Amino acid sequence: MAITRMSRRHFLATSGALLSAGVVRAGDRPAVTSPRATDGDETHEPKWDERLTITVGPKQGDLNGTDDKVIQAAIAYVNRLGGGTVQLLPGTFTLRNAIVLPSRLRLIGSGAETILTKGPSETIELADDSDWYDQEITLSQPGDFRVGDGVVLKTVNPHNGSTDVIKRTLVARSGNRFKLNDGIRKNLWLTGKPTCSSLFPLLTSEYTDDVLIENLTLDGNLANNENLNGNYGGGVFLQDCNRYTFRNVESRNYNGDGISFQICHDVVVENCHCHDNADLGVHPGSGSQRPLLRNNRLERNTIGLFWCWGVKYGLAEGNHMIDNRDYGISIGHNDTDNVMRDNDVTGSGKVGLLFRDDSRGEDFWANRNLVENNRITDSGGQDGIAIDVQGKTKDVRIVSNEIRETRQPMNRIGIRISSESSGIELDSNSVDGFATAVMRLS
């Protein structure tokens, strides 16, 4: 039998040709060119022509109704089978509890004609003490509370005077006495004046992954609801989630935040409209890594875009922050290595872009951020500031921005830089119409 021998030179030449052709490189696994549905493999799967979809509508669709229960039932159905799509048909759905999102879900509306809202909130004081290990409360009067309702319990902490906030669902009742879906884990003692309120986020989730929300409207009925802080609620509220995408979602009129996510990574918010919310338009919350915020309109909120604590490696690009009551953009506590590029910030009530001062730690400022090619116009009142860099903020690049004041100069400042800051690079910015273009405090 003939044996073909290959010289070392021939082998290397052949290997080089294969590598340059992209066949396989040393140290790499082969590319998946023909994926199959393999049990437990969530990385590679064929692109199916059709996936499981359940439609929900007031009178048409697989399931009919106009409340949270019918939407949640559809979600539970696709979740039981490993994930899929819930398609909300045109209509107004009035919720008595939050829609809870599982992993691997696509929740798709029909655009502006699909509206999720809630009725007026009600707050009633508790009539009996509940200890931290209890799973029930007693209301001082019945009100309109029903089994299945989402509620927020608030009380003054008896040990430190802070406010405790507990989100639960009412699952059973006898008169004014309700069982909760989970233990309280706080002390609801009458000395702390505890209350129960019919408040909840419209969409919410914890510890889930890979969800798409698209083409629907969230209306928080602000005029008839109490405030729910963005660390607990919002039109959307997520906690400890990964890889969520919001596309073409309108979140409006919530007495709190429009979209809030806490310790959530690789969240995408694009082509969304968050407006007329009591607090923040979009709130990348504490510890969230790599958020992508692109081509959104954030209008008439208290703050348009609020980078919270420890938000890193994010990109805000192509957004429009318009007529927000305090700040167009606010960034601060350990929010580092982010990029804000090609945004329009117009008509902010106090400051267009605020770098917050946070002296609670050794180095808690918004360092190593890039502000590039933005347009910041008409910020604040007579003493308004377009960009205000406070505290010991360091190593920030502010380059190629158009910073304009089209009203009278008054006492307005284009860019103000704290005396404690360092490494603040200003390059190729156009600053026009201010009493003072750049102020470096001494």
- Predicted confidence (pLDDT) per residue in 225-243, tens digit: 999 999 999 999 999 999 9
Mean per-residue pLDDT, 134-158: 96
With a cut of 90, say whether residue 140 has pLDDT above it: yes
Query: Is 11 strand, coil or helix?
Result: helix
Residue corresponding to tokens 């602000």: 222
Query: Is 425 strand, coil or helix?
Result: strand
DSSP string, 181-213: SS---S-B-GGG--EEE----SEEEES-EEEEE
Domains of the chain, with CATH numbers? 63-118+201-440 (2.160.20.10), 123-197 (2.40.30)
CB-neighbour burial class of residue 47 (10 A; exposed 0-12, middle 13-18, buried 19+): exposed
Mean pLDDT of the chain: 94
CA distance 145 to 159: 30
Predicted local confidence at residue 361, as pLDDT: 76
pLDDT band at 10 (very low <50, low <70, confident <90, very high): low
With a cut of 70, say whether residue 7 has pLDDT above it: no
Predicted local confidence at residue 2, as pLDDT: 45
CA distance 315 to 329: 13
- Looking at the chain, the whole-number percentage of residues with pLDDT higher than 90 is 87
Mean per-residue pLDDT, 298-305: 98
- Looking at the chain, the whole-number percentage of residues with pLDDT higher than 70 is 94
Predicted local confidence at residue 51, as pLDDT: 86
With a cut of 70, say whether residue 20 has pLDDT above it: no
Predicted local confidence at residue 17, as pLDDT: 46
Residues written for the chain? 442
Is-contact 206 240, C-beta < 8 A? yes
Structure tokens at 1: 């039998």
